[in-house]
Amino acid sequence: MKVIVAVKRVVDYNVKIRVKPDHTGVETTNVKMSMNPFDEIAVEEAIRLQESGKVEEVIAVSCGISQCQETIRTALAMGADRGILVECDVELQPLAVAKLLKAIVQNENPEIVIVGKQAIDDDSNQTGQMLAALLGWSQGTFASQIVLGEDSAKVTREVDGGLETVNLNIPAVFTTDLRLNEPRYASLPNIMKAKKKPIDILTPEQLGVDITPRLTTLRVNEPPVRQAGVMVESVTELVDKLKNEAKVI
Ligand code: AMP
């Protein structure tokens, strides 16, 4: 079995996001970039499936600028076998990424694609679902456990009310939730080995995919500054403030 994992290069989750002065987006120059945390979980899951003997090859795919190769190298250092970069300079929206991944799936014929449940920069939570729809494959989203059988998979999903377990036919797309696993750190020898692993570079044109954006960002704003709290002396004072100052009751 072959698995494709999608890895997106995003602003590191520890970085304090700054909005650009012209409000067209967030500052990414001189900002630490890393693999989307949910994609680290996706890579870890693919590698664990390989270690359990159920999967032969793990391919890490990233779409975006040339620097996304660093993100692919991280996946290779964790244990993926090879990488594919779909290189382009324009902003990629989830539908475009889903179409690019579909084209790669058609070239590579994997049985499973694992993507993050959402990218922490756009918070779209769309790519995995769109990809499954475009391919006509089963989807197991928000997975907190994946048990792989011969031609089916049992996926435990994190839903609002608790956990839901579904049985899916393979081929399938899985999207990872936080509790699926704890991603490993790449060891130094594996980081060195990853430098020798191959990364193919393709373009959207070679894959025959139109990546024209369908959505326009009108304006990006900082969240409103949180007001300082106050200590109240009594419940009566609290109720009075909620009623007359906050006007919420
Ligand atoms: P989103 O739908 O944008 O929240 O992204 C969900 C998941 O799709 C991410 O966690 C990635 O696994 C994958 N993905 C989105 N954009 C890209 C990209 N440019 N390159 C590779 N994978 C991506």
Domain range 2-216, CATH architecture: 3-Layer(aba) Sandwich (3.40)
The model carries a pTM of: 0.92
Q: Which atom of ligand 1 is found nearest the CA of 176?
A: 10
**Strand 2-6 to 112-116 pairing:** parallel
Per-residue pLDDT, 158: 94
Per-residue pLDDT, 11: 97
- Distances from the Cα of 177 to the Cα of 54, 63, 96, 222, 231, angstroms: 21, 21, 22, 27, 38
Q: CA 165, CA 156: separation in Å to the nearest integer?
A: 4
- Distances from the Cα of 228 to the Cα of 134, 225, 231, 244, 246, angstroms: 48, 9, 10, 18, 13
Report helix angle 68-78 to 37-51, nearest 10.
30
Give the residue whose CA is nearest to atom 14 of ligand 1: 8
Ligand 1 pocket: which of 3, 8, 84 to mutate (most atoms <8 Å of CB)? 8
Q: CA 70, CA 212: separation in Å to the nearest integer?
A: 25
Contact 140, 198 (CB under 8 A): no
Per-residue pLDDT, 164: 96
Residue 60 has pLDDT above 90, yes or no: yes
Which residue from 159, 155, 5 is spatially nearest to 82, judged by alpha carbons?
Answer: 5
Residue 162 has pLDDT above 90, yes or no: yes
Ligand 1 centroid to 135 CA: how many Å? 16
* Over residues 140-169, mean pLDDT: 95
Q: CA 127, CA 245: separation in Å to the nearest integer?
A: 43
Ligand 1 centroid to 125 CA: how many Å? 8
Residue type present at position 10: V
* Over residues 37-63, mean pLDDT: 97
Q: Measuring from each residue's beta carbon to the nearest atom of ligand 1, which residues come in under 6 Å?
A: 6-8, 36, 38-39, 42, 62-64, 92, 94, 97, 115-116, 118-119, 122, 124-128
Report helix, strand or coil for 185: coil
Per-residue pLDDT, 235: 96
Per-residue pLDDT, 226: 87
- Model pLDDT for residues 194-233, shown as the tens digit of each residue: 999 999 999 999 999 999 999 999 999 998 888 888 899 9
Phi, psi of 162 (to 5 degrees): 150, -130
Which residue from 40, 193, 39 is spatially nearest to 115, judged by alpha carbons?
Answer: 39
- Burial of 141 per CB tally in 10 Å (0-12, 13-18, 19+): buried
Per-residue pLDDT, 223: 87
Ligand 1 centroid to 7 CA: how many Å? 7
- Model pLDDT for residues 235-249, shown as the tens digit of each residue: 999 999 999 998 998
* H or E stretch at 11: strand 9-11
Ligand 1 pocket: which of 40, 61, 93, 97 to mutate (most atoms <8 Å of CB)? 97
Ligand 1 centroid to 132 CA: how many Å? 13
| Other beta carbons less than 10 A from residue 71's beta carbon | 24
Q: Which atom of ligand 1 is found nearest the CA of 118?
A: 4
pLDDT band (50, 70, 90) for residue 97: very high
Contacts of 212-221 spanning 24+ positions with Cβ under 8 A: 212/96, 213/90, 213/91, 213/93, 213/96, 214/93, 214/95, 215/93, 217/24, 217/25, 219/23, 219/24, 220/19, 220/20, 220/23, 220/24, 220/25, 220/26, 221/19, 221/23
Give the residue whose CA is nearest to atom 23 of ligand 1: 8
Ligand 1 centroid to 225 CA: how many Å? 29
Per-residue pLDDT, 83: 98
Ligand 1 centroid to 229 CA: how many Å? 38
